[in-house]
């Protein structure tokens, strides 16, 4: 089954020159709780155990992949800072080449639209879409379980994007995915043009100062029924206080919009915030030069 993210797929008889264009969507954490850390004897030692509800949204990067004869991997991007060895597109290609002994090389162009360090999952989505693109390009026919096996070693949100579900309950380090469908939500999203380090937020986070609550089932029910009032009441992000401490503009943006009657929540480890809306409205923005904003909906 061809992924719904694939925009175009052109195959040549010799495989060389075959190319694919695939979308790479962003995400929002409607709920994010931190349950603890993995012990020393765990393969995920150093990571936190999470419980989250993630939504895939209609805001995209674009990835172009072409098969070439030379077995190396050439990566290009409209953001020159992303052309680096730690780029997740590059890591995804290297991993799938190694596991499935793929002899071909690839030319990849990443058109980056999703802000880096915003908590919108751009890097993880890029890795997932790269795997899906190569799977289709080479007709590997990898099962979802095989893709998940690749994804869990690349990043915490990769398996969510591989699930290609509009919503999912996510647990563990982020590798355990329970997809579900729900009513389409609309959002206004603000990014304060600050790249916030996920590692820094998690390292600063203090479990002892966080009250444990689990409203996952209530929120899942609210999303499936389209009960916006109940959805709003159960939005939660355990990392918001920590991220606001590290990045003061997050706190300022929330306070500004709270006075205007709008409730914004941090997504992931930040720095982007989102608000659920029933229809597009004109937001009372003091200035547009200090941050980027856009609308998106469930995808």
Per-residue pLDDT of 129-162, as tens digits, reads: 999 999 999 999 999 999 999 999 999 999 999 9
Q: Are 56 and 166 in contact (CB under 8 A)?
A: yes
Which among 63, 58, 20 has a CA at the least distance from the CA of 166? 58
Angle at 234 (CA atoms; ends 249, 161), nearest 5 degrees: 75
pLDDT at 296: 96
Which among 183, 18, 171 has a CA at the least distance from the CA of 105? 18
* Structural domains of the chain sorted by starting position, each given as residue range(s) with its CATH number in brackets: 6-180 (3.30.230.10), 186-297 (3.30.70.890)
pLDDT at 233: 94
Beta bridge partners of 237: 32
Q: Over range 249-256, report the average pLDDT.
A: 92
Catalytic amino acids? 27, 157
Task: Measure the CA–CA gap between 269 and 266, rounded to whole angstroms.
Answer: 7
Burial of 240 from C-beta contacts in 10 A (0-12 / 13-18 / 19+) = buried
Per-residue pLDDT of 51-109, as tens digits, reads: 999 999 999 999 999 999 999 999 999 999 999 999 999 999 999 999 999 999 999 99
Q: Show the tokens assigned to 202.
A: 């998690």
Burial of 123 from C-beta contacts in 10 A (0-12 / 13-18 / 19+) = buried
Task: Measure the CA–CA gap between 47 and 282, rounded to whole angstroms.
Answer: 40
Please state the separation of Cα 136 from the chain's center in Å.
Answer: 21
Per-residue pLDDT of 183-223, as tens digits, reads: 999 999 999 999 999 989 999 998 765 665 678 999 999 99
Task: Measure the CA–CA gap between 160 and 246, rounded to whole angstroms.
Answer: 27
- What is the average pLDDT score of the chain? 93
Q: Over range 280-291, report the average pLDDT.
A: 66
Q: Show the tokens assigned to 5.
A: 């993210």
Per-residue pLDDT of 112-125, as tens digits, reads: 999 999 999 999 99
Q: Are 229 and 276 in contact (CB under 8 A)?
A: no
Q: Show the tokens assigned to 257.
A: 């919009």
State what percent of residues in the chain have pLDDT above 70.
95
Total-model pTM? 0.95
User: Residue 227's pLDDT band (boundaries 50, 70, 90)?
Assistant: very high
pLDDT at 287 over 60: no
Q: Show the tokens assigned to 36.
A: 């603890």
């Amino acid at each position: 089954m061809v992924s719904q993210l694939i925009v175009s797929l052109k195959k040549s008889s010799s495989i060389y020159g075959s190319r694919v264009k695939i979308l790479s969507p962003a995400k929002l954490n409607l709920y994010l709780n931190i349950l603890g850390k993995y012990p020393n004897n765990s393969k995920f030692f150093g990571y936190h155990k999470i419980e989250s509800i993630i939504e895939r949204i209609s805001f995209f990067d674009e990835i172009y992949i072409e098969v070439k004869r030379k077995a190396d991997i050439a990566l290009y991007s409209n953001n020159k800072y992303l052309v680096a060895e730690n780029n997740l597109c590059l890591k995804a290609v290297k991993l799938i080449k190694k596991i499935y002994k793929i002899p071909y090389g690839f030319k990849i162009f990443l058109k980056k639209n999703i802000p880096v360090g915003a908590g919108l999952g751009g890097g993880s989505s890029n890795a997932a879409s790269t795997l899906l693109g190569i799977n289709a390009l080479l007709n590997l026919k990898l099962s979802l379980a095989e893709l998940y096996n690749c994804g869990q070693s690349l990043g915490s949100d990769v398996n969510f994007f591989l699930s290609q579900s509009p919503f999912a309950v996510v647990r563990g380090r982020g590798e355990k995915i329970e997809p579900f469908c729900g009513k389409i939500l609309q959002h206004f999203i603000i990014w304060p043009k600050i790249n916030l380090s996920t590692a820094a937020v998690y390292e600063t986070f203090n479990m002892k100062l966080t009250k444990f609550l689990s409203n996952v089932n209530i929120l899942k029910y609210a999303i499936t029924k389209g009960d916006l009032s109940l959805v709003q009441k159960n939005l939660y992000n355990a990392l918001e206080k920590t991220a606001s401490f590290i990045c003061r503009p997050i706190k300022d943006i929330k306070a500004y919009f709270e006075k205007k009657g709008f409730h914004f929540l941090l997504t992931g480890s930040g720095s982007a915030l989102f608000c659920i809306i029933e229809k597009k409205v004109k937001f009372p923005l003091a200035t547009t030069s200090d941050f980027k904003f856009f609308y998106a909906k469930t995808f």
